[in-house]
Structure 1
Amino acid sequence: MTTTTTDETYDPERPGRLLRTERDALIPLLRDADDAAYGIRTCCPGWTVRHVLAHCGSALMRVVESRFEKGVYSPESNERDIAERADWSNSRVVDELERGMTEAGPLIARSKGRLDGVALGEWVHAGDVREAWGRPGAYGGPGLPDALLLLAAHSKAVDSVALHADIDGRDEPLLLGAAGGTAPPARYIGDAPTLIRLSAGRPLTGTRYELAGAKEADLGVFS
């Protein structure tokens, strides 16, 4: 979940801005939901909405509290964090998430790109919750412009497949992944939320896009 970027257009405030933008949209939605909604399954294997939110809050609080022991953000570490919150009320889980989304931004900015993937992952998980609840705006919304630029930087940091993305409504193509190889970059034509789904390994049912020069499985940016 970590990144390092040397992008000349890098904005250290972008991750925190994305988190605050998503906080203002997501937290009221979570506060208004009944307890039964937290038990709905998400696209993340084995995880309900509550599991996703517990993971998100714990991941951000690790940033806020500078707790990065060996194996942090591994599947095993994520499951331990969720288990530690098993006795918490849903409102307490949301309280922690709101605090993390508020306070983690400055700490991520100081990491000079190393922790930007945490903010991007949090935003994607917010989309997972909306998707599970059948709410509009999954993997889209007001944070999308910042999310796309973080995606581009993160894809380069993890050396993913080079991709030239022509995104509906965007004047300039978005360049993802490793550059400078001998093969031409793969080509994507479609909307931005679908590109997010492809890059994050989310379900593509009901989407329309064109992809040439790569397979869907080649485009993932999260391990």
Structure 2
Amino acid sequence: MTDVYSRLLLTERDALLPILRRTPEEAFDRPTVCDLWSVRDVIAHCATALTRVATGDLHDFSPEANEADVDARRPLPLADVIAELEKAYELGAASPEIHRVALGEWVHGGDIREALGEPDAYSSAGVDDALAILVQRSVTREVPPTDVHLTDGRSLRLGDPDASAEGVLKTDVAGLFRIVANRRPELAEADLTGLVPSELRMFF
């Protein structure tokens, strides 16, 4: 499934970079849903994580290790941080390991959009690929079997596709990603029965 991951990453690149280039520099200091990180910090994290995965220069991606990467880039000019992200998109899309971070990069794009007041946070371009990857991740993470009915008419299954459903979730695309990625899930317009939102969480 490398193609779907690379496609999602390049779609996010093409959608997000123009937003960043037209955003006033002072807006990059706005806080995001990621604790203690500004928009600029999230960009730095995305660039670093992509580069590490693409080049094999891995660490444990713990909060402490991620913070060290971000902190190392705080002295850099903003233009350099954005340029690093652009280069990282290219490296990542060509890497056979991109499956590890593509969906997370797309979700972080939602974090940035939300902080900047841009539309379609957590439902931006590439959402069909993001949903396909999310379904696969839900099986790998052994999420309780849940039937999801989206307001646009689509339905999908999280967790084991052959098991009896333990939960039913009715929401929109953004609400689904807010819940599974723990992005202010209380803002999701959602009706969840049989489970609690934390049982559907797939990002930590």
Is the shorter-chain TM-score for this pair beyond 0.5, marking a shared fold? yes
1:97-176 equivalent positions in 2, closer than 5 A: 97-107=85-95, 110-111=96-97, 115-171=98-154, 173-176=155-158
* 2:83 match: 95
1:116 and 1:154 in contact (8 A); partners too: no
SS for the counterpart of 2:10 is helix
Q: CA deviation at 1:178?
A: 4.0
Query: What's the counterpart of residue 38 of structure 2?
Result: 48
Moved over 6 A (4+): none
Distance in 1 (CA, whole Å) between partners of 2:50 and 2:20 is 17
Q: CA deviation at 1:102?
A: 2.1
State the 1:153 CA deviation: 0.9
Give, in whole Å, the separation in 2 of the partners of 1:144 and 1:38.
Answer: 24
Cα deviation 1:157-209 (Å, max 9, x = unaligned): 122222111112244x211124566x633111121111011100011455322
Distance in 2 between residues matched to 1:194 and 1:79, nearest whole Å: 27
Distance across 1 between alignment mates of 2:23 and 2:170? 36
Gaps of 5+ in 1: 1-10
CA offsets 1:44-71 (integer angstroms, 9 cap, x no match): 11111011111000000012211124x2
1:54-99: CA deviation from partner (whole Å, max 9, x where unpaired)? 1000000012211124x2x111110111011111111111111111
CA RMSD of aligned residues (A): 1.7
Structure with bigger helix share is 2
Deviations along 1:21-51, whole A, 9 cap, x unmatched? Answer: 1111110111111221111000111111011
TM-score normalised by structure 1 residue count = 0.85
User: Which aligned pairs between 1:144-223 and structure 2 lie closer than 5 A?
Assistant: 144-171=127-154, 173-178=155-160, 184-223=165-204
Question: Offset of 1:136 from its aligned partner?
Answer: 0.5
Higher relative contact order (CA 8 A, sep 6+): 1
Distance 1:212 1:219, change over 3 A: same
Alpha carbons 1:152, 1:175 under 8 Å: kept: yes
> What TM-score do the two structures reach when normalised by structure 2?
0.93
Is the counterpart of residue 65 in structure 1 residue 46 in structure 2?
no
1:81 correspondence with 2:69: yes
Post-superposition shift, 1:149?
A: 0.7
Report the more deviating stretch, 153-162 or 141-150.
Answer: 153-162
